[in-house]
A = this chain, B = another copy of it.
Amino acid sequence: MTDETPFFSAHVFVCTNQRPAGHPRGSCADKGSEKLRDYMKARAKELGIAGARINSAGCLDRCELGTTIVVYPDGVWYSCRSRADVDEILTTHLVGGRPVERLMLTNDQRELRPEQVG
């Protein structure tokens, strides 16, 4: 579509959508996504990851799998539960260039896998 180098080599969107309490789909904000976003921004800065940007996003429509994160232009989706998960995404994917398979979401995924819940 465009021959240019991506403006951000890793453009990360963290869902920070908040639904009303008791909504059957839940929401990423209920699972602590705002704190995870804050941590990810600070940690990416500390690590000095060139060309990375960590953004908030509205509802990414995969609420059951949240906190949901998508990394573009790669198009890799993650479920992220903890600071340790954030660290792994930053160091393995954004720095190392390899996706974190344990945390990745497949397109047809509707529930978290056991290794994503712990």
A99 contacts which of B1, B13, B73, B76 (Cβ < 8 Å)?
B1
A70 interface contact, C-beta 8 A = yes
Docked-complex contact A6 and B58, CB < 8 angstroms: no
Q: Judge whether B5 and A107 touch: CB under 8 Å.
A: yes
Minimum C-beta distance from A94 to chain B (A): 11
Report Cα–Cα, A106/B7, bound state, in Å.
Answer: 9
B75 contacts A2, C-beta separation under 8 Å:
yes
**The residue from B2, B7, B58 contacting A56, defined by CB atoms under 8 A apart:** B58
Residue A95 at the B interface, CB < 8 A? no
Nearest CB on B from A33, distance (A): 12
B57, B74, B104, B106: the one contacting A55 at CB < 8 Å is: B57
